[in-house]
Structure 1
Amino acid sequence: MAASSNHKNNSHARSKSLPSIENPVITQLDEHLRRFRASEDASKSSSFGGKLSRLQDLHDCVNKVLLLPLVQQALAQENNEKWVDELLDGSLQILDLCNAAKDSLLQTAECMHELQSILRRRGYGEIGLSNEVKKYLASRKVVKRAIQKALKVMQNKCIFATINGDHETTTMFSMLNEVQATSLNVMESLLFFISGPKTKSVGWSLVSKLVSHNTVASADQTDRNEFAEVDAALIGLVEHKTSKSDNIKVVQSQLEILELCIQDLEEGLECLFRHLIKTRVSLLNILNH
């Protein structure tokens, strides 16, 4: 009877723990995290399109992990509810930054297309062109202010999850927290990239508040920045620092490159957004189970 009672107690204890971290799906998540760290360390200049693609792989794997019955049972335990709440808060933060990036790209693209249309017209007056360029640059200032506001809001909302529990539970939540911290880091860097190098840092990196052992990417972008190049070229036209007749074609070429860049980022963000929504729905279902 005593042996039977001990067996039941052990089974009950195991039911509250997460499945072994050697589970193939969980192992795959760990491998994705390792590859992401390695890619970031090896190539700081990798394109944001590539970074967004790797984030999609990460969150796709997270969604697979959250579908594991034993994981759902473990997360649904009352003593794990606070951790699920923190994961939900983190998922909302990532979604907010993702939306901020999408809105910034949309606004930039709309003004860019209007400017491209003007530049393609032959015989368009210098005053009209200057007005359209100034309109684009004014729109960019609005975008930069919105990005700064989004990042400052995140500064106040960002939290460090405190995890206390058995080894397997803490390991799993640490992995999920690292996914969120990595996502916040990439989204923060992307917003700085969209706004251009003149945007000042809010004084810290989001990821540093979440995962202290991760390498923090610099907010100052030293690699090619299509947004900043177009801004600089247009400012040169308006302020007559460059010859309009000689540089209109150069500006048109830069706008075409920026258009492709925006399309690539929009596609990556839209796909990532779908993964993020799926993750959030899974967490809400677990919490309300």
Structure 2
Amino acid sequence: MACHIRSVSLPTRSHPFLLKAEEELNKLRACMSSSSLTYEIMLDALKAVGRVYESINDLVQMSNNRNGLSHMQHRRWVEQELEESVKLLDMCSISRDNLDTIKDHVQDLELAARRGDLETVKRKVGDYNLIIKKANRDVKMQILNKNESAEGDSLAVISHLMETREITISVLQSIFSYLSRQISGKKSSKWSIVSRLVEKRTISCKGEREKDSFDAACLRVNVEDLENGVKTLFRHLIQCRVSLLNICSL
């Protein structure tokens, strides 16, 4: 996205808040350019997005930026970002709810695997795939409904908001693409996956973790971490939106 930056009422490019936002954006670009998006990359991306919004929020709250953004020349950009922020909050909320549903479902799958209930595990694996497909559709619907991004001259803070919004959408979409591969993306057939999940308990020589429930338990923890990451991101989005609303009230 090409945005020509003006220096009107902005701190210099070396301002710590601006440098921090640009540094986190660079990390995000690197994360999302990876050919293999792992759980660790998804979690790091969520944290980085939150830090970008935190830095942008610090920039927005600076008095000279507030005055510059409230000027009629730039207010339309603020109003557009406010409109887009509602859609992004909706997307985060929907993603958070879907992750909560997925987490509960994986927990049921884990318990069924521990019991050795082959039929229930088979059904839960199928249900998991359906839930992931629904979550993917929910995110894509929000993407299709969003407005076109504005083009032209804008303040650096607005430019960063626009780019971060696009990357946030990509991160949320990638989370469910990653989760879809955890079961349905494996080369094994559904029945071999089910059989592996409900293998008889195998205790290591140290008497540690059960082999049968390891994969499901690990997936549940991963989903819970991603859900918490989306919750934190949601709070950062709210804070940033409040700051933009305060500008419109000037």
TM-score, structure 1 normalization:
0.69
1:93 and 2:99 equivalent? no
Describe the shift of the 1:57–1:43 C-alpha distance in structure 2 as closer, same or farther (beyond 3 A).
farther
CA deviation after TM superposition for structure 1 residue 99, in Å: 2.0
Does 1:66 find its partner at 2:60? yes
Q: Contact (CA 8 Å) 1:105, 1:266: kept in 2 or not?
A: yes
Correspondence for 1:151: 140
Q: Of the candidates 260, 264, 271, which is equivalent to residue 225 of structure 2?
A: 264
Q: How many residues align?
A: 236
Counterpart in 2 of 1:274? 235
Any gaps of 5 or more consecutive residues in structure 2?
Answer: 1-5, 203-209
Residue 178, structure 1, aligned to residue 170, structure 2: no
- 1:1-40 equivalences under 5 Å are 17-40=9-32
1:60-105 deviations in whole A, cap 9, x for unaligned?
A: 1111111111111111122222101221133223222222321221
- Equivalents in 2 of 1:45, 1:114: separation in Å? 26
Summarize the alignment of residues 128-143 of structure 1 with structure 2, pairs less than 5 Å apart: 129-131=118-120, 133-143=122-132
Q: Structure 2 CA distance, aligned partners of 1:260 and 1:226?
A: 13
* Root-mean-square deviation (Å): 3.3
The 1-side partners of 2:212 and 2:188 are apart by 6
1:259-282 deviation per Cα after TM superposition (whole angstroms, max 9, x unaligned): 121122122112111111111111
Q: Percent identity?
A: 23
Partner secondary structure for residue 21 of structure 1: coil
Alignment CA distance shift 1:260-1:131 (3 Å):
closer
Query: Are residues 81 and 192 of structure 1, via their aligned partners in 2, closer, same or farther at CA, if it must alter by over 3 Å?
Result: same
- Give the structure with higher Rg (CA): 1
The amino acid across from 1:113 in the alignment is Q
CA contact (8 A) 1:15 1:74 kept: no
Residues of 2 paired with 1:27 and 1:135: CA distance?
47
Which one-letter code corresponds to 1:156 in the other structure?
N
TM-score relative to the length of structure 2: 0.78
Shift of 1:179: 1.7
- Alpha-carbon shift at residue 132 of structure 1 (Å): 5.1
C-alpha spacing 1:286/1:190, structure 2 compared with 1 (3 Å):
same
Matched to 1:273, the amino acid is F
- 1:89 and 1:276 map into 2 onto residues whose CA distance is 13
Matched, 1:163 2:152: yes
